[in-house]
Amino acid sequence: MLSVTPEISWKLQLYFIGLKREDHAPASAESLRKEVMEDELNTKEELTKKHTRFIQES
């Protein structure tokens, strides 16, 4: 399941706003996908670190 962080939500909003504007070339779907995947990976890494610390403290 994909969790939507505020950063991902913001990037998606900017992407769709860009699609509406004629003078602004929208970001390519591939670059947007990479950004979303990077944000998701960062979120998972942070969660893993928190869980590791919790387990070590127990």
Q: Is the confidence at residue 34, as pLDDT, over 80? A: yes
Cβ-proximal residues to 21 (8 Å cutoff; 6+ apart), any chain = none
In this prediction the pTM is: 0.51
Query: What's the whole-number mean pLDDT along residues 32-57?
Result: 90
| pLDDT > 90: percent of the chain | 26
Per-residue pLDDT, 51: 94
| Higher local confidence (pLDDT), 10 or 1 | 10
Mean per-residue pLDDT, 52-56: 92
Distances in Å between the Cα of 31 and the Cα atoms of 2, 27, 34 are 18, 7, 5
- The pLDDT score that the predictor gives to residue 21 is 65
Q: Looking at residue 3, what DSSP letter applies?
A: -
